[in-house]
Structure 1
Amino acid sequence: MVETYASGPFSAEQPTEAQRLRMLERFRDPDTFAILESLPVKESWRCLEIGAGTGSVTRWLADRCSHVVAADLDVRHLEPAATVSVLETDITAHSFPTASFDLIHARAVMCHLPARDEVVARALDWLAPGGWFVVEDIYTLPVGSSPYPAMNAYAKAAFESATARGADMQWGTRLPGIMAQLGYVDVHVETKPRMIGLGGLADDLWRMNLRQAGPHLIAKGLFTPEALDECLALIDDPAFVDVRYIGISVWARKAG
């Protein structure tokens, strides 16, 4: 059986996945909301949230726009409302009518989709003229970039596992050029290195990622229990600091 995101270490079946998603939302929401607030959001806007998770961005949009479609592979953590439609679907296989939305947003999802380039192309058709597509993704640093051997071992295992299921954890830097070639205009890019070892949500989220993904990678023979223990011990070490990935956000609009 070919592994997919839905059957991997961050599937909805993982007992701590809802907790991890809420932690991710608390960590990323301030940056997300700052980008969305920079756009000319109108009450009349129709929005699509790709990979809605537990719904924090959906709720933010619903408070400001006329309607939001919250789409995800698993919608157990999402609640429909007067201005929110919940859609359980694989976005790579789903289709919307032309000019359905004024804003499309996707966070921490596009790099995991084997057909990510095709979704970016189809999203341009789903947008109304002048509509915006906001993609927040990551760029994982090359294997070997950490001074900590255990972190390099985890990076190598995670990279191999992601690649096997069709993900590209370094795709984010390609996105601005992809959007420009497709005909998006007003392309904006924002990057932010993500440090761990300073305490707070970043460390909590990384620790949760390790605890969910580590056993999965060990079972596949890509990682070892000793390396997992060492990674977790590093995060708890007051002297530890490391940059593990770069957050990259890209937003652009449809001409017109």
Structure 2
Amino acid sequence: MNNPFIRKLENFTRFSQAERKALEDATGQNVRRLGSREDIVNEGDEPRAVNLVLEGWACRYKQLQDGRRQIIAFFLPGDLCDPHIFTLRQMDHAVASLTPVTLARVTQPTIEGLTESSTRIAETLWWEMLHNAAVQREWTVSLGQRSAVERLAHLLCELYMRLRAVGLTEGTAYDLPVTQADLADTLGLSSVHVNRTIQELRGAGQITWKGRRLTIHDLPALMALALFDPNYLHLDHEGAHLDAQ
């Protein structure tokens, strides 16, 4: 399956052929491509459509008046950027590409049509929003309670699990196309502290990070170090087990 959005949602359930076609049609139109480090949505914009990431990485961020930035979420292939924004008059945060991205612009009438046509699609879109909220809660816990090495290890485990869910891992390796400055803005650390933390994980034989490729050498050990429990990702629903039946 080439559509990462459908592949992600099918961790929750399995769609009929008609439901897959409806999702393909909804996400195959209004496709655009942006380069790396471009704003997709600006804070203060009036929300008119939801952006679905088909290829590449993006992020949600807030920026203070003095230029300091906090990355609040990573958007990976298959992720909807803020599916609930139609209730807002203006955006209270920004969304930007971290790499070249391919996006599908999904309008409110399209989403409403999908949910009205299929109860199963409506349920999976609710699951998608609850999944995103759960990730946000876990990031808050990391910022408030985890040490620097635990924060980084936890993020690396989470990214592995999320990318595996859409078929973008190879063993325990995956592309990690972010900079140490991006990680600093995500983890609430300085770039120097992030560099030291990466070296600590490398020195312990936990990871190899060459270029854009990250390899986790002992996933259970890294999960234990990070106090990582994947249950918050809610990827263990019936859809994740149907292929094995």
Q: TM-score, normalised by structure 1?
A: 0.35
More helix by share: 2
TM-score between the two structures when normalised by the length of structure 2:
0.36
Structure number with the bigger relative contact order (C-alpha 8 A, sep ≥ 6) is: 2
